[in-house]
Amino acid sequence: MTISLSKNPESLFPADILSTIRKEKLWRVAHTKSRREKALAHYLARAGIGYYLPMVSRQQSSNKRVRNSLIPIFNGYLFFPADDFERHKAMRSNHIARIIDVGDEIKFISELNQIEKALSGNTKVYPYDFIQKGQWVRVNKGPLKGAEGRIVRKDSNYRLVLSVESIMQSISVSIEADQVEPFNN
């Protein structure tokens, strides 16, 4: 079911969730039940629990109508920092299949910031299967300057793959070949 754009949850709640370090809360990954990402985001917002749900706008056609929808970029995943009480409260939402604790939080937050940077730019973003082999690069100019990821060659441009290794999910961004330089991860 498509809902109006105004009724979609915010991607970042609160807006500074990726820049504020909360030592008493650990980052967790909610692996949601099928198509429950937005419902979980609404539940967490009402409960005062911060979250990050990266979404992209997509056009959908039906019955001679074209609608824009926001869809989660990582199907079935939502990210949130929580203490044990908030973790339990989130589980009671009945939207979560399981919760994955994040091992390296600094790396995880860095990966999420890269995803948010790509989503907030004027670049086309596509969900992409996680790649274990490939060339690591660092973007040296343009709106994604400083982002690091794997590269997949496609047509006359490169396809830069930004990954969140904790959930083995990635997105791809079209980028000019001269905007990247090799990088050993």
In the chain, the domains with their CATH numbers are: 1-101 (3.30.70), 107-185 (2.30.30.30)
CB-CB contact of 120 with 139 (8 Å): no
pLDDT confidence band for 156 (50 / 70 / 90): low
- Mean per-residue pLDDT for 67-79? 90
Q: Which residues pair with 163 in a beta bridge?
A: 170
Question: pLDDT digit string (tens) for 89-113?
Answer: 999 999 999 999 998 999 999 999 9
Whether the predicted pLDDT of 151 surpasses 80:
no
The amino acid at residue 152 is V
Total-model pTM: 0.77
Please spell the DSSP secondary structure of 112-152, one letter per residue: HHHHHHHHHSSS-EEEEE--SSSEEEEE-SSTTTT-EEEEE
